[in-house]
Structure 1
Amino acid sequence: MNHKVLENTRNVAIVGPYSGGKTTLLESILYVTGATTRKGSIKEGNTISDSSPEAKERQMSVEVSVATTTYQGFELTFLDCPGSIEFAQETYNALVGAGAVIIVCEPEIDRLLTLSPLLKFLDKWEIPHLVFLNKMDRAKNRFMEVLYALKEVSTRPVIPQQYPIRQQDELIGYIDLVTEQAYHYHPGSPADPIPLPEHLKEEEHRARHEMLEVLADFDDHLLEELIEEIEPPQEEILKDLKQDLSADLIVPVFFGIADQDYGVRPLLDAIIKEAPAPTVTSERRGLKPTNQEETLVQVLKTYFTQQGGQLSLVRIWQGDLTDGMMLNGVRAAGIYRLMGVQQKSIGSASVGDIVAIGRLEGITTGTTLSSKDKPSKALPKADILEPVYALAITPENRKDEVKISGALNKLMIEDPSLYWEQHGDTKEVILWGQGEIHLQVALDRLRRKYNLPMTTHLPQVPYKETIRQATKVHGRYKHQTGGHGAFGDVYLDIKPLDRGEGFFFHETIVGGVVPKQYIPGVEMGVREYLAHGPLGFPVVDVDVTLTDGSYHSVDSSEHAFKQAARIAMTEGMAKCNPILLEPILSVTVSAPAECTAKVLQLVSGRRGQILGYEPRSDWKGWDQVTAHLPQAEMHNFIIELRSLTMGVGTFIWEYDHLQEVPGKLKDRVLEVTGNGHS
């Protein structure tokens, strides 16, 4: 294995909040490094990433895109990840394989809070990351104020590696804080070295000292030099930056204007000088990158292409990958380098490479693959996000019903944060996901890829009903036709049970007034009736006892007793004061502390019962609110929650209990469903 080649490989994910300019930065990188001859634009829909119809329509990233280029003898593979919180699963799955991460965001203090979930993920996984403040021409705050705000949301120390040079409000250059060399930006070409502006010397010195002080926290020798006021050599500073970034101890900050290519070259320089080589990343995962006895790769993303079927994007962690190699018993049918939608066939790939493999049927995202029968070590994968938004779906064409499950399962392989179910009570097919746009993209794919146009509606609430009073009831079924007749006769005691107890059936028959072989028919009749009670919903928490009855030696049958039981239940249950019950969910909402008051208001406004709130553990400046909320009030909850919390609020939920529906609301539900009457 060629170690020099390995050292000269970098794979880097580009992440950040929606509209920060990630795709524009990638276009600039590809242009500056000569991979493309002209930059694409999001408005024109001709960027290398965001090339799917769903991305173009919305002018936003909806899945991970890959592009490879070379710069100063280094091979750089970039993963352009979606910024919208609704597509966070795509981002997290890809980040697991990244050697380093560029966080692209705007220098707006008020919006930096939106980085919290992303920074938490990166620190949990110890993935080296740096920040690129884009659109610096629109900055409303001073650079050091933005830096301070970044420190507030990062658990790792944030350090400036550059300092801006401005003329009035215009960004015209930067000072490199390692070399203390100033540069002047030029459109279409590298920045020129210029003398350090006199009026910035003091500010630059303060910013540089801040950088060195943080580095000295991890280097005793540097600390001694600072105490003794000895100027540390540049090589030592660079070595510290590389070591500390590689170990995810620091977060260096760069800036620029991506659509003018300003700041892009220094960012690339930092990637090749400071970001870890793939061997370092593999070793930190406890692997032996140059081990040729076992090749280990991990699937970061699964695509289903119109032409070539399944395509698996993988990161090579150990050994070499060759075309035709058996991985977990499945043959790799082609290895490809991706450039957006374009595929370039290659014969082999090495540690640190991110490539696509054709036709790994049955292999899902996150899976660890080995050249042996099974991997010696399963690599950790990103957790699947809990669904927070649902739509009930039906095919526009009834004949397509048989195709739904196959197509939905393929969608879930491409995007594991989607989930579907056929609801046991309502019989609806329900598609779950991370938000409205997320599900719309999934429905677009169903239509485009699988020719399955869908109509959608809000999922029904699985209401139940129960009773308040007990009663005794008699049911007789007598039917005479030409031959044998039908006869069943039962006496039932119906009484309510405590909430959550379920359903019980007993019999206290003596003297054989209802023969044993007919009693199961009675229970069956009762159970069938309870699926659709007097209000029209499944009945719960009821006890029914068969106490007496009579039979006919010729005309009685199990079926006749089943019918008799149904007649008794129909008459009896209406007398038992039926009440409507709704499912109540236990919900835990996480949001920035400054939004807690709004969250409490949102919960209360949806008939929620607030159980309490407290600081979210390990999340500085975040709170957790626990509450009971009716499922009927949950449909657009995530949409409203995000609008109140700059897009970062989220929740987890589980079914908790059933509760009586308040009077006026009960009347409205029964009116809408056209069910029963009390």
Structure 2
Amino acid sequence: MSYNTENIRNVALAGHAGTGKTTLFEALLQAGGAIQIAGSVERGTTQSDTDPQEKARGHSIDSCIAGIDRNACHINLIDTAGYTDFRGGTLAAFAAVETVAVVVNASNGIEHGTRRMMERARERGLARLLVVNKIDTDGANLPALLSSLREEFGNECLPVNLPGEHAGKVLDCFFHRDGATDFSSLAEAHQQILDQVVEINETTMGAYLDAGEEALTSEQLHDAFEQCLREGHLVPICFVSARSGAGVNELLDIFDRLLPNPAEANPPPFRNAEHLQIEVDPNPNAHAIADVFKVVNDPFVGKLSVFRVWQGTVRRESQLFIDDNRKAFKVGHLFRLNGKSHLEMEQAIPGDIAAVAKVDDIHFDAVLHDSHDEDSIHLDPLHFPQPMFGLALVPKHKGQEQKLSQALCRLAEEDPCFRVEHHKELNETVIRGLSDLHLKIMLERMNDRYGVEVITHPPRIAYRETISSSAEGHHRHKKQTGGAGQFGEVFLRVDPLERGAGFEFVDAVKGGVIPGQFIPAIEKGVRQAMESGAVAGYPLQDLRVTVYDGKYHPVDSKEVAFVSAGKKAFLDAVSKARPIVLEPIVDVEVAIPEPSVGDVTGGLASKRARIMGTDAKRDGELVIKAQAPLAELTDYPTELKAMTGGRGRYSLDLSHYEPVPPPVQRQLSEAWKPKLDED
């Protein structure tokens, strides 16, 4: 099918786990003619969940892309994982679309994942839909849910269709108004959304006031509608049943008739080397710019890099550059992803989603372009949750160290929330993810794909150090061993900064008492000391170092002398600045059966947790929200399983760092002293 940028729609299905996103994905593909028969999650036959782990668990782990060609419109549809354990890939997909369709379970109503996805899409400036699925489920109270959605997300949330009698049919209340519903008149719903749409556009409003609705063309309605979506003035609510097919064709109509195309959506936040925002032009004749939002190490085609084209045209056999690297690679094969299939394509125009294979230098979030003169350009990074769960590991069999390293590198390429750390001082490799399940999946993949088995144990907690007052430090480094010696003297001051501020280095030297070429050496020494720690061996953060005086020798002063002087002057100042150890505090959400609430809250309280509140859900489940030190949650998966009979689950997000209690700081400092003395 031939199409242009104005005919493309890019939509991500997101939302809480269990809302039926994958089943809806299948139903949309079938209704759009992309597949003959919709697959089943239960039977493991879907286009989306192709990984053996996804089939075994019955839910998505990775995002999946497929295309629908309908009414001269090409829809790129992305199915994303609902479990918070795998939301890295979900959020990454937001960099490739104009619209996020947040799917809501009609029975369960608004869940944590609903709020999270709505907020992230809003932050990114994306158009949003609320898709209420499973409307034919027994006990679903659709009028109450509609009220809850408007109360939670604002009066800009309005239905564009409504369930008919017994939810067996969905009735359009934007284009057509035929029939009645169980809980609202179509005329009233139609008037509400029409008023919301026309008021944002003066031309459309004028035509409407002068001659009524009949004077509005479909083009005027589309332009006003997509402007409302783009500016967050309207969040349409759509009702569907993916199982029965009710509302699925109507949802496709909304996709191709009302959603913004790539030329209409809010401009993506690209920036140049000076971090100034630049506009990309969805012109197929401009030079090409594309952003990589997904990397897959496919066992059959090799490394597959999936990208969204923002400007220009990427053609097969053309040459592209990666970021600001001047070395080009040839696009030997250009693929369109269609669920399980990789289809060859000749070119990808602005708005297209495509992939290239076997280019090892491409990385997640890389910018691909075809201009020799292109300055460094990047898309504003998405905010990903910081992985807080950790496991230290070693290969189970000797001689697999190199194989382990390569496997971890490939897994980290695919998931922006999976990280690999190498701690030289402990000779320890640590993997970090969003949950124990996240890490379990990664270890299973490492074994299945690469044949690497590992032994794991808890890693060190990511403590940090900082200072709580200002102080000055001084050190004179003088070394004479015959011939040219070493000399450098440094005076500096340290000041505490706000939590999360990081590190500042200030050169306040006057009169050339320390030549400018030695200032970087002082900073290097300071950074070395910060990395090694001053109280308990953990990196320092949230402080400012100001170098204001010193001395040098015209013959003996060398870079190495000022590295040493800067390092020891810094440690001298920190020792006087009331140093403290900081521990990571995490936001904890625990979903449990109601009878377990006493045991779980008591258990959290024993771990120095602060209970922030609870939310009741259907079927007698409660969600407890708390903040707790990460160090206290090392064995929490096992404890929660025991307290809830295996029915509890939880998630963590880094909240902030705060000082550890004095007994804990003494314990950490005493454990570090023997190693410090040994060094």
Distance in 2 (CA, whole Å) between partners of 1:55 and 1:452 is 20
Equivalence for 1:650: 653
Superposed, 1:82-101 pairs within 5 Å as 82-101=81-100
- The amino acid that maps onto 1:265 is N
Distance in 1 (CA, whole Å) between partners of 2:463 and 2:283 is 59
Equivalence for 1:529: none
Equivalence for 1:419: 419
Distance in 2 (CA, whole Å) between partners of 1:250 and 1:438 is 35
Equivalence for 1:76: 75
Distance in 1 (CA, whole Å) between partners of 2:462 and 2:450 is 30
Equivalent residue of 1:660, what SS? helix
What displacement does 1:646 show? 8.7
- The amino acid that maps onto 1:42 is V
Equivalent residue of 1:381, what SS? coil
Equivalent residue of 1:459, what SS? coil
Equivalent residue of 1:75, what SS? strand
Equivalence for 1:486: none
| CA deviation map 1:269-327 (0-9, x unaligned) | 11111111222237565211116341000001001111222110110000000123222
Question: 2:172 aligned with 1:176, yes or no?
Answer: yes
- The amino acid that maps onto 1:251 is V
CA contact (8 A) 2:16 2:82 kept: yes
Residues 657 and 317 of structure 1: is their aligned pair in 2 closer, same or farther, counting only changes over 3 Å?
A: same
Equivalence for 1:218: 200
Equivalence for 1:243: 227
Distance in 1 (CA, whole Å) between partners of 2:445 and 2:215 is 56
CA contact (8 A) 2:163 2:182 kept: no
Residues 649 and 210 of structure 1: is their aligned pair in 2 closer, same or farther, counting only changes over 3 Å?
A: farther
Question: 2:295 aligned with 1:302, yes or no?
Answer: yes
CA contact (8 A) 1:583 1:659 kept: no
Residues 11 and 398 of structure 1: is their aligned pair in 2 closer, same or farther, counting only changes over 3 Å?
A: same
Equivalent residue of 1:404, what SS? helix
Equivalence for 2:444: 444
Distance in 1 (CA, whole Å) between partners of 2:287 and 2:128 is 29
Distance in 2 (CA, whole Å) between partners of 1:455 and 1:364 is 29
What displacement does 1:361 show? 1.7
What displacement does 1:32 show? 1.6
CA contact (8 A) 2:9 2:73 kept: yes
Equivalent residue of 1:260, what SS? coil
Equivalence for 1:209: 191
Superposed, 1:346-425 pairs within 5 Å as 346-373=345-372, 375-376=374-375, 377-423=377-423
CA contact (8 A) 2:536 2:581 kept: no
Residues 21 and 356 of structure 1: is their aligned pair in 2 closer, same or farther, counting only changes over 3 Å?
A: same
Of stretches 62-71 and 396-405 in structure 1, the one that deviates more from structure 2 is 396-405
What displacement does 1:357 show? 1.0
What displacement does 1:598 show? 9.7
Superposed, 1:150-299 pairs within 5 Å as 150-154=149-153, 157-166=156-165, 170-182=166-178, 196-197=179-180, 203-219=185-201, 230-231=212-213, 235=218, 237-281=221-265, 283=267, 286-290=279-283, 292-299=285-292
Residues 85 and 539 of structure 1: is their aligned pair in 2 closer, same or farther, counting only changes over 3 Å?
A: closer
Q: 2:309 aligns with which of 286, 291, 316?
A: 316
Equivalent residue of 2:238, what SS? strand
Residues 83 and 373 of structure 1: is their aligned pair in 2 closer, same or farther, counting only changes over 3 Å?
A: farther
CA contact (8 A) 1:114 1:646 kept: no
Residues 382 and 226 of structure 1: is their aligned pair in 2 closer, same or farther, counting only changes over 3 Å?
A: same
- The amino acid that maps onto 1:120 is E
Residues 636 and 505 of structure 1: is their aligned pair in 2 closer, same or farther, counting only changes over 3 Å?
A: farther
Equivalent residue of 1:259, what SS? coil
CA contact (8 A) 2:23 2:243 kept: yes
- The amino acid that maps onto 1:173 is K
- The amino acid that maps onto 1:449 is R
What displacement does 1:640 show? 6.3
Residues 456 and 649 of structure 1: is their aligned pair in 2 closer, same or farther, counting only changes over 3 Å?
A: closer
Contiguous gaps of at least 5 residues in structure 2: 270-278, 322-327, 477-533, 538-579, 614-622, 672-679
Equivalent residue of 1:280, what SS? coil
What displacement does 1:69 show? 2.2
Equivalent residue of 2:106, what SS? coil
Equivalent residue of 2:42, what SS? coil
Contiguous gaps of at least 5 residues in structure 1: 183-195, 465-497, 507-537, 542-581, 615-621, 671-678
Equivalence for 1:187: none
| CA deviation map 1:42-75 (0-9, x unaligned) | 1111111110112112111111111112111212
CA contact (8 A) 1:426 1:462 kept: no
- The amino acid that maps onto 2:256 is I
Equivalence for 2:4: 5
Equivalence for 1:619: none
Equivalence for 1:107: 106
- The amino acid that maps onto 1:660 is P
What displacement does 1:630 show? 6.5
- The amino acid that maps onto 2:52 is P
Superposed, 1:309-348 pairs within 5 Å as 309-328=302-321, 329-348=328-347
CA contact (8 A) 2:287 2:312 kept: yes
Distance in 1 (CA, whole Å) between partners of 2:655 and 2:427 is 24
Equivalence for 2:631: 631
TM-score scaled by length of structure 1: 0.69
Equivalent residue of 1:302, what SS? strand
CA contact (8 A) 2:588 2:650 kept: no
Residues 630 and 450 of structure 1: is their aligned pair in 2 closer, same or farther, counting only changes over 3 Å?
A: closer
Equivalent residue of 1:378, what SS? strand
Equivalence for 1:52: 51
Distance in 1 (CA, whole Å) between partners of 2:420 and 2:188 is 55
| CA deviation map 1:372-411 (0-9, x unaligned) | 2474432223133201211222222122123222221111
Equivalence for 1:514: none
- The amino acid that maps onto 2:409 is N
Residues 213 and 457 of structure 1: is their aligned pair in 2 closer, same or farther, counting only changes over 3 Å?
A: same
Equivalence for 1:545: none
What displacement does 1:126 show? 0.9
CA contact (8 A) 2:316 2:331 kept: yes
What displacement does 1:109 show? 5.5
CA contact (8 A) 2:8 2:352 kept: yes
- The amino acid that maps onto 1:589 is D
Of stretches 421-430 and 448-457 in structure 1, the one that deviates more from structure 2 is 421-430
Equivalent residue of 1:279, what SS? coil
- The amino acid that maps onto 1:337 is R
Give the number of the structure whose alpha-carbon radius of gyration is greater.
1
CA contact (8 A) 2:160 2:174 kept: yes
Distance in 1 (CA, whole Å) between partners of 2:648 and 2:151 is 17
Distance in 2 (CA, whole Å) between partners of 1:227 and 1:453 is 70
Of stretches 393-402 and 268-277 in structure 1, the one that deviates more from structure 2 is 393-402
Distance in 1 (CA, whole Å) between partners of 2:599 and 2:368 is 43
Equivalent residue of 2:185, what SS? helix
| CA deviation map 1:524-547 (0-9, x unaligned) | xxxxxxxxxxxxxx9959xxxxxx
Superposed, 1:405-554 pairs within 5 Å as 405-423=405-423, 426-459=426-459
Residues 292 and 110 of structure 1: is their aligned pair in 2 closer, same or farther, counting only changes over 3 Å?
A: closer
Distance in 1 (CA, whole Å) between partners of 2:422 and 2:633 is 21
- The amino acid that maps onto 1:123 is R
Percent of aligned pairs sharing the same letter? 21
Distance in 2 (CA, whole Å) between partners of 1:332 and 1:129 is 34
- The amino acid that maps onto 1:20 is T
- The amino acid that maps onto 2:238 is F
CA contact (8 A) 2:128 2:235 kept: yes
CA contact (8 A) 2:609 2:626 kept: no
Equivalence for 1:605: 605
Residues 225 and 278 of structure 1: is their aligned pair in 2 closer, same or farther, counting only changes over 3 Å?
A: closer
